[in-house]
Amino acid sequence: DIVLTQSPASLAVSLGQRATISCRASQSVSTSSYSYVHWYQQKPGQPPKLLIKYASNLESGVPARFSGSGSGTDFTLNIHPVEEEDTATYYCQHSWEIPRTFGGGTKLEIK
């Protein structure tokens, strides 16, 4: 199974600053055309919400302050500038093979 390791497990970022979340895969999940990593935001009591697909493609309706990058085994979710409503847990997920797996999550607090 592909293991997705997210770091940090939690972080606190001041309002208006940048939050950076890392997701490292145990093997490459990229081809020359696509990277099969997707990012979700989950708030307490709610289902996850898709933010970014294929590493860097913003899902429709998601604010442009969210961005994704990376390829191969290293991927990053950036949020800038962070807003109060961004308080949530963020997960990466791969779709390279079966089983699909998710990272362990990163809890973001806004100071």
Nearest-approach distance from CB 108 to another protein, in angstroms: 15
Using the minimum distance from each CB to another protein, give the nearer residue, 18 or 100: 100
Name the DSSP class of 72.
T
Asked whether the bond before 99 is cis by omega within 30 degrees of 0, the reply is: yes
Site for another protein contains 90 (CB under 8 A):
no
Site for another protein contains 33 (CB under 8 A):
no
Give the binding site for another protein (CB under 8 A).
1, 36, 38, 40, 46-50, 53-54, 59, 91, 93, 95, 98-105
